[in-house]
Amino acid sequence: MTLQLPTWFNAIAWRDLLFTVAAVVMVTLLLIWWSQQTRYWYRLAFGTFLLAFLLCIAGFFLFEVPPYYAGCPNGCPGWRGYPRPVAVVDVRGEAHLQSGNFALNLLMLWLLWLAASLIWRLLGIAFQWERRSLRARLLFIFFFALLPWALLPRALNPPQPSPAGEDLRLANNARRSAEFTYRITGLWVLRLALEDVRQLPSDAQNRTVAGQPIGNQVCLRGYTYFYVPWRHYRIDLDPSGRTALDLSELSLKTPCWQ
């Protein structure tokens, strides 16, 4: 299968250009606001930009959607990066960096860091930061900075394919079974993201679990705190796709499909 990898130009839609203009305006306004708060505003600007750049690189390695067939019978390329893709992953598993999308992702993360710094500044004023002890300041940082970021997977989905129809039904059934039957999510695994769905043809349903043939398989990726990927989980479903027969826990380096 030949993949038409997007170029720098056609990878960026008009809505992305509108977002870029709006983000640049917001970043400028936030920097102006900080320049009125402290004479060291340029340090904060550089620091948040550096954090955004490091997160953009980290997202390339942490957030991966391999090439998939869920909702895409002919196969679709995967991608890397979050909150927006920064690279395309072809069927050979090779990632092709898109400089335009990388720049947009960097701009988005920089804007988020500046917005977060504004919120922390306002909370610090309400908290009377200057008058608090070191212990109180450390508790403030833990509860208002580290903990929300660590628990972010509880609130926001990581990148994943968007299937429809039968594949979506199978993915939802497998996810519910992993969460409620096998108790995968909880204290450590905070979120399960779909990687792919495989519907086995009737002549290939030769594997059985407890006497029932395996008709469908769903691959999920588990994320723990700070969106750190943890494990692959392959759920075997019966031919109807309603009942989970087995769950296999695999390392991230082990593909779901052998």
Q: Is residue 156 part of a domain?
A: no
Judgement on whether residues 129 and 234 belong to the same structural domain of the protein = no
Poorest-pLDDT segment among 3-7, 38-42, 196-200: 3-7
Judgement on whether residues 55 and 180 belong to the same structural domain of the protein = no
Q: For residue 239, give its domain range.
A: 165-250
**Is residue 69 within 8 Å of residue 198, measured between CB atoms?**
yes
Q: Is residue 241 part of a domain?
A: yes
**What does the pLDDT average to over 145-151?**
95
Q: How many domains does the chain have?
A: 2
Judgement on whether residues 130 and 188 belong to the same structural domain of the protein = no
Amino acid identity of 34?
Answer: W
Poorest-pLDDT segment among 37-51, 62-76, 174-188, 196-210: 196-210
Q: Assign residue 7 a region (left: φ > 0; alpha: ψ between -120 and 50; beta: otherwise).
A: beta
- 133 pLDDT band, cuts 50/70/90, is very high
Q: Is residue 52 part of a domain?
A: yes
Among candidate residues 150, 177, 199, the one where a domain is terminated? 150
User: DSSP for the chain?
Assistant: -------TTTTS-HHHHHHHHHHHHHHHHHHHHHHHH-TTHHHHHHHHHHHHHHHHHHHHHH-EE--B-TT-TT-B-EEE-SSS--EEE-TTS-EEE-HHHHHHHHHHHHHHHHHHHHHHHHHHHHHTGGGS-HHHHHHHHIIIIIHHHHTGGGTSPPS-----HHHHHHHHHHHHIIIIIS--BTTTB-EEEEEEEEE--GGG---EETTEE--EEEEEEEE-GGG-EEEEEEEEE-TTSSSEEEEEEE-TTS-S--
The mean predicted confidence, pLDDT, of the chain is 90
Judgement on whether residues 29 and 83 belong to the same structural domain of the protein = yes
pLDDT tens, residue by residue, 197-234: 998 877 666 677 777 888 899 999 999 999 999 999 99
Judgement on whether residues 135 and 172 belong to the same structural domain of the protein = no
* Most distant pair of Cα atoms in the chain: their distance: 73
Q: Is residue 127 part of a domain?
A: yes
**Is residue 236 within 8 Å of residue 217, measured between CB atoms?**
yes
Percent of the chain with pLDDT over 90: 78
Among candidate residues 150, 177, 196, the one where a domain is terminated? 150
Among candidate residues 107, 124, 150, the one where a domain is terminated? 150
Predicted model pTM: 0.86
Q: Is residue 92 part of a domain?
A: yes
Residues paired with residue 244 on neighbouring β-strands, in sequence order: 237
Q: Is residue 4 part of a domain?
A: no
Poorest-pLDDT segment among 3-12, 156-165, 200-209: 3-12
Residue 3 has pLDDT above 70, yes or no: no
Judgement on whether residues 135 and 175 belong to the same structural domain of the protein = no
Q: Is residue 196 part of a domain?
A: yes
Q: Is residue 6 part of a domain?
A: no
